[in-house]
Structures are given as structure tokens and as C-alpha cells.
Structure 1
Amino acid sequence: MSWDMRQQPKPGEEWSDLEAARYNITVKPQSLAEFFGVQILPDIPQSVEDICAVEDKEAATDDATYNTLHLMQLAQESAEGTHMAVDCFIAHLLQRMGFVEGRRLVLMGYPWQFDMVGRNTHAFTDVCLVDEKILPILLVRTDKRGCRLPGQTHILEMPLVAAAIAAFRETNDARHLRPRLDKITFPAIIMEFGTLPMFYKICISQQFWEVVSLSRTDLTTSMTVYCHYPQVDFRHLADGMMRLETRRELLRYMEAFRQLIMSGEMNAMFGCL
């Protein structure tokens, strides 16, 4: 076993294309059927029908609808800012859509510890869904640094990979006397332009974790991150959910992801935790 002592640990927020090249990380788009396992998107749940019935908050007829649309508007307007409206919006949406079932929680700005080149560092998720043991179920990063096109999101994708590595460590450390899981797939979302979700599946293996955490030069590894970018009108991507015509469609993608996460198939990806 050997280590490369010349490398320095980097917090997850600083991960970039350099780490993608160093650890042979590639991002591969998948079709709807490949990613979600369905040919047709499911309809939205009843819990968000209200926000698909009116264009904006001024047309809302009740406080719950008004507040959700108001938060959506703030998230869209703050996509290039530094405050937390984008994080608040996706956290609120996860709760309204039923991602938070049973004893799950939505946490914001949560730090996860992980090792890189033999030393401790950390990775943040802007929003994460956790179980009753505070173990990660869903990882979310939000774009607060301006508009980028789908497929040009490495500035957020690589920090998301770092968060998944930290989540892998957190999950396996919690197993105590039980055998470590060799692979865990973490579902993840990047919120572009404030209200446009991009979907990811990040599979971390024990070997990949060892290469990153111990910088083992005697091991070679690679990883493919699978993603799906919603197929909506390219001309209106930057509008995200603000346009009523695309809002329902994007929420259908969110519902498909929720069903995938909660399904037996996704549980198998998690190693049947």
C-alpha cells in the first residue's frame, strides 16, 4: 500500500474539474427511462396542485399557495445572490411533495466530514434529507453564482461528489459492528437558476473512497455520475418554475425522483440500509 503525500486536502466546496480529472470522474446524461426507470413521468401529487393552478402569488386564493409561490419567486430572484431563499425554497418543496415521510428531516447547510489524502476535511450540502439517525438520503446543492447551461455545471457537480463521499463515510461509520457497505448510491439534486432541478445518482464504492481518503497510488479507480436534465423548452430554462407552462412538468420530474428514492430499487442501491 502506498500514498501520495504531496497532495493537500480540499474542502468539498473547492472541488472542481481538477478533482474530476485526478479521480477519473465523468458525468453521463441518461434518458428518462434509463435514469428514472419509467417511460412516462408520473403526475404531480395533490399536495402541489394548488401552485400549478395559478401563475403567481398575486393570483393565489389561500395563504399556503401564496407562501409557496412567494418563496419560489424569491428563489428565482436570488439565484445570483448570496442569501438563502433558494435553499429555503427547495427545502419547502421537498416537504410539500412528500419527500419528508416518517421520521425524516430536511436540514440546511449541513457539514459532512470526510478524509482526503489521509487528513480530515469537510463537504457541505446546501440542503439534505436525512433519516432519524441523521444519515443522508438525498443531497442538494443550489446555484447562487449566476446562470449556467445544463451540462456546464461542474462548479456544482464536483462539490456534490465530495458531499457523496462524505455521506459514504458517515453511513458506513454508523454501521458499527456490521460489515461496511461496498457501494452506496446517493440521489442528488442541483438547483440551477433558483428553481430548475437537475437530477443525479452518485455511486461511491469502497475502492473509490480509499483512493480519495488515503490517496492510495497502488489503486486505480474511476466513477461515472449519472444525471438527467429535464427536457423543457431551452429558451425558458432560466425561468425555471416561474413559467406556469413548465412548472407542472418540472414538478413531475420531482415526483418521479421521489418515487425512485422511495422505491425498493433505490433502497437496493443504498445497500438495503
Structure 2
Amino acid sequence: MKLISNLMISAAFLLLGSCKEKMETFTIPDGHVGMFGYGSLMSKNLIEIGLLDKAYDGPFLPAQLKGYKRSWTFAWPADLPTINVDGSYSKDFILMDGDTIFPKYLHYLNIREDPGTVINGVLYIVPVADLPTYDAWELGYERFDVTHLIQGYTIVGGPVFAYKALPDYTLEPNNDYTQNTVERAYVRILEDAFKYWGKDFEMEYNKSTEPFDPAILHETHKLVLTDPAMEKLEELKAGFKY
């Protein structure tokens, strides 16, 4: 029995050593931070064309985040203007049987603490100078440090950030599209990411994401605002420290 125990212990150490050998090093250069994207930030096209308007040629790797669950629980109130990639502001609406409907909330992906859960996503680097652009894109979320929660990599050189919804912007969607709407345009961004990463990545995403009721998925249209109420948006922007 003692021999068997020793063999088992030796095998365990060999396995541990093998796991350590497989750990890749993710190095964050000076003047940069790491970013873990689990929603729209999984799309390289969105980052390059829709967000930064410049090519990204740094590391762009599939990764996992432990201790969080992904769901459609970020809720953007429709009475707040939405910032568009061209810098304009608008209010979103849907058309149903010829009627114009302004849903109460637009829902996007979010992560919430859930011990024992692992989600997949994308790990890459961001110049510190670009963080204000990211923070503006992620209004209603808070940026927080997830360095110690990234699986599969040894992180060197700086922190890794992700975004999660602020409490006031967290809401479970129901199946009433007049109250809760998921934009088809946002889903298409995810589909673009799946095309880039492949079917296995998409399957892992589906397994680690709470679904929404298909009744709330709609094509949205934008009413451009010439004089948007900016007070609440400015208050949100002031919450980011970079």
C-alpha cells in the first residue's frame, strides 16, 4: 500500500509539473494593461473598426476567467442617450406592426460573481492611453482587476481588466420586448467573434452563458439626438479613474 501511495504521489507531482509546463506567459509591455473581453470585445473587427479606428497587431488569445457567470443582465435605460461609434448620441427604438416602441431597457452581456464557474473570452493588451475610449464605450460598467482570475496563462508586467455592470445597471430581462430588448446588431458582433474563433469557442460560449428569451431579440433603429441630456452620462464618465 505504501508503494502504491508513493507511486500516486509521484504521479501527482509529474502531472502538476506537466500543467506548469503548459502554462503560457502573457507579457504586458510598459504603458499597457491587459484586457479580458467576454462580449463585444471578443470581436477583433469591433475593436479595430468600431472602437479604436486603427489596426490591432498585439497578442489576441482565447482565455478563461474563473469565478464569474456570463448573462444578459446589463440594462441600459432607454431614457439615457446612447453614444455611437461616430460620436453622436441617439435613442433606440424598435418597429412592431408599424408602431414605434421605445423599450425601457437595452440588454447586453454582463458578468457576475459565481464561485466554481468558468467563462471563455479573449485576452489582449490595451495602451493605457486608450483606456478612456474603452471606458466611454463601456459606460454603465465598472472596470476591475481580474489578473488573478485568468486561467491558462502566467500574467507578467501589469494588470488584466474586465468590465462588469454597476449595480444600477444590472437587471434580469423578462420576455416583454417593451421592457427589455436585445439588439440584433450586438448579436451580430458576437457572431463575428465566433467566425474568427471557430465552432469550439462558440460552443464553450453557449455552455457558459445564460440565454435570453428570443422574444426580446429585435432589430433596433436610432433616433439621433441633437441636444442629448448629458448630466447622467457625465456623472458615469466621472466614475472612471485612469
Decide: shared fold, TM above 0.5.
no
Query: Greater share of helix residues, 1 or 2?
Result: 1
TM-score, structure 1 as length reference: 0.25
Query: Greater share of strand residues, 1 or 2?
Result: 2
Of structures 1 and 2, the larger Rg is shown by 2
Higher RCO (C-alpha 8 Å, min separation 6): 2
TM-score, structure 2 as length reference: 0.27
